[in-house]
């Protein structure tokens, strides 16, 4: 059973589908309505990042940079330094990929509140192939001091996360997907930056994930319950600052953790969880994610299957981690 307080959709197997980047576009408009300091910059990807929603509503506060991601970051740094709240929209492979040093020096070290939005993150980008499938961006961003890192799990959470980072007064990264993915949270689902949400309770293992794969985790947990294995499912949408208390409590309760993310297992959420556990309460952990390899072309569904990110892979990982308990 999912936690009633999580207020998820009634039937996880029959959800609407929408991409998280669409939630970002809606969130931009909401944030823009709340505060006229909000401006949006884009690097020739206005529609595919859903920044056009903001552009149509606030044309005077939309700035087209062209295919120049480094300048995207530096111009935004200057705007934030002056007093604006800039969002910079691009694909994650370019921003924070190509412009990583500009983000490091001019945004994080400068400590100015630029919001970096990396769309088309993860393997689910699909046919575009490895060049456009960012699998390193969480790692790139979470090692920078001052930076907040958020990975929304669906379109509803993406909208909430966008509005939240607009007003956190900090350099922030928000990670977005291209494909339509299940909409399984609701406007009533609790969301607070820095606080992980428990979506399902259980005693045998804790699945801690972020992003669209959380839906697979919930389905896996449901199927495992039919086999008598009770899993917690935790949405750790804020990868940095990570919710240490919730993760440690889950480890104490279950004694086994599976991390789930659409990212390299090196440096992402799984690594962040392992850091928390090894310092506070070491328990066995299995890592669902890209196993140190680049992506390739295919449909999102094919790739999620091939890269071991589907519900069956998660179920196997749960069984394996439980078997490793002492």
Partner 1 sequence: MGLLRDAVEACPACSTTIAEALKTGYVSQYIDDKKVEELEIKANDARELLIEMLTEAGSGHTAGPLGMADIFTALYFHVLNHDPKNPDWAERDRLILSNGHICPIHYVLMAMSGYFPVEELKTLRKFGTRLQGHPERMRLPGVETTSGPLGSGLGQACGMAYGARMDGKKFRTYCAMSDGEHDSGVTWEAVLFAGKNKLHNLTAIIDRNNIQIDGMTEDIMPLESLRAKYEAFNWHVLEIDGNNIEAFVDATHEAAAIFEKPTVIIAHTIPGKGIREMEFDYNWHGKPPKPEEAKKFLDELRTLGGKITSEHQ
For residue 96, the minimal CB distance to partner 1 (Å) is 15
**Rounded distance between C-alpha atoms, residue 66 and residue 178, angstroms:** 20
Q: How far is CA 166 from CA 74, 96, 110, 274, in A?
A: 18, 18, 17, 29
For residue 85, the minimal CB distance to partner 1 (Å) is 11
Q: Please, which residue, 90 or 189, has the CB nearer to partner 1? A: 90
- If one counts every other C-beta atom within 10 angstroms of the C-beta of residue 53, the result is 21
Give the phi and the psi of residue 191 in degrees, each rounded to 5: -150, 125
Residue 36 bears catalytic tag: no
For residue 167, the minimal CB distance to partner 1 (Å) is 18
For residue 69, the minimal CB distance to partner 1 (Å) is 9
For residue 50, the minimal CB distance to partner 1 (Å) is 23
Our CA dihedral for 11, 15, 21, 24, rounded to 10 degrees, sits at -50
Q: Please, which residue, 9 or 166, has the CB nearer to partner 1? A: 166
Q: Please, which residue, 109 or 301, has the CB nearer to partner 1? A: 109
Q: Please, which residue, 106 or 285, has the CB nearer to partner 1? A: 106
For residue 76, the minimal CB distance to partner 1 (Å) is 6
Our CA dihedral for 285, 288, 293, 299, rounded to 10 degrees, sits at 180
Q: Which neighbouring-strand residues pair with 40?
A: 62, 87
Among the listed residues 36, 69, 159, 261, the single catalytic one is 69
Residue 196: DSSP 8-state: -
Q: Which neighbouring-strand residues pair with 232?
A: 206
Q: Please, which residue, 171 or 209, has the CB nearer to partner 1? A: 171
Q: Which residues bind partner 1 (CB under 8 A)?
A: 39, 60-61, 63, 65-66, 68, 70-71, 73-84, 86, 101-102, 105-106, 109-111
At 13, list the tokens.
């197997």
For residues 165 and 24, the answer to whether their CB atoms sit within 8 Å is no
Q: Please, which residue, 70 or 254, has the CB nearer to partner 1? A: 70
306 alpha-carbon distance from chain centroid: 21
**Rounded distance between C-alpha atoms, residue 97 and residue 218, angstroms:** 30
Our CA dihedral for 310, 216, 119, 150, rounded to 10 degrees, sits at -130
Positive or negative, the Cα torsion across 42, 46, 48, 53?
A: positive
- Indicate which residues carry an active-site annotation: 69
């Amino acid at each position: 059973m999912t936690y009633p307080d999580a207020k998820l959709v009634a039937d996880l197997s029959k959800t609407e589908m929408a991409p998280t980047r669409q939630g970002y576009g809606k969130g931009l408009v909401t944030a823009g309505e709340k505060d006229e300091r909000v401006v949006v910059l884009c690097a020739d990807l206005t529609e595919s990042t859903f920044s056009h929603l903001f552009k149509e509503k606030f044309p005077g506060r939309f700035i087209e940079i062209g295919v120049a991601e480094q300048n995207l970051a530096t111009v935004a740094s200057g705007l934030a330094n002056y007093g604006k709240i800039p969002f910079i929209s691009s694909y994650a492979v370019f921003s924070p990929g190509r412009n990583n040093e500009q983000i490091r020096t001019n945004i994080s070290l400068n400590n100015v509140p630029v919001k970096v939005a990396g769309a088309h993150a993860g393997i689910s980008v699909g046919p575009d192939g490895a060049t456009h499938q960012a699998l390193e961006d969480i790692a790139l961003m979470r090692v920078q001091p001052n930076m907040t890192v958020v990975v929304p799990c669906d379109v509803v959470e993406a909208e909430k996360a966008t509005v939240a980072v607009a007003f956190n007064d900090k350099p922030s990264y928000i990670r977005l997907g291209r494909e339509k993915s299940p909409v399984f949270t609701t406007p009533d689902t609790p969301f607070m930056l820095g606080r992980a949400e428990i979506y399902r309770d259980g005693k045998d293992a804790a699945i801690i994930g972020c992003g669209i794969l959380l839906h697979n985790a919930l389905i896996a947990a449901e199927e495992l319950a039919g086999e008598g294995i009770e899993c917690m499912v935790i949405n750790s949408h804020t990868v940095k600052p990570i919710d240490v208390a919730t993760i440690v409590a889950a480890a104490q309760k279950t004694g086994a953790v599976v991390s789930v993310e659409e990212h390299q297992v090196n440096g992402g959420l799984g690594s962040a969880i392992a850091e928390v556990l090894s310092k506070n309460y070491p328990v066995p952990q299995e890592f669902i994610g890209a196993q140190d390899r680049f992506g390739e072309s295919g449909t999102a569904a094919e790739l999620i299957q091939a890269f071991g990110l589907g519900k069956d892979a998660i179920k196997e990982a749960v069984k394996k981690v439980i078997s490793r308990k002492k």
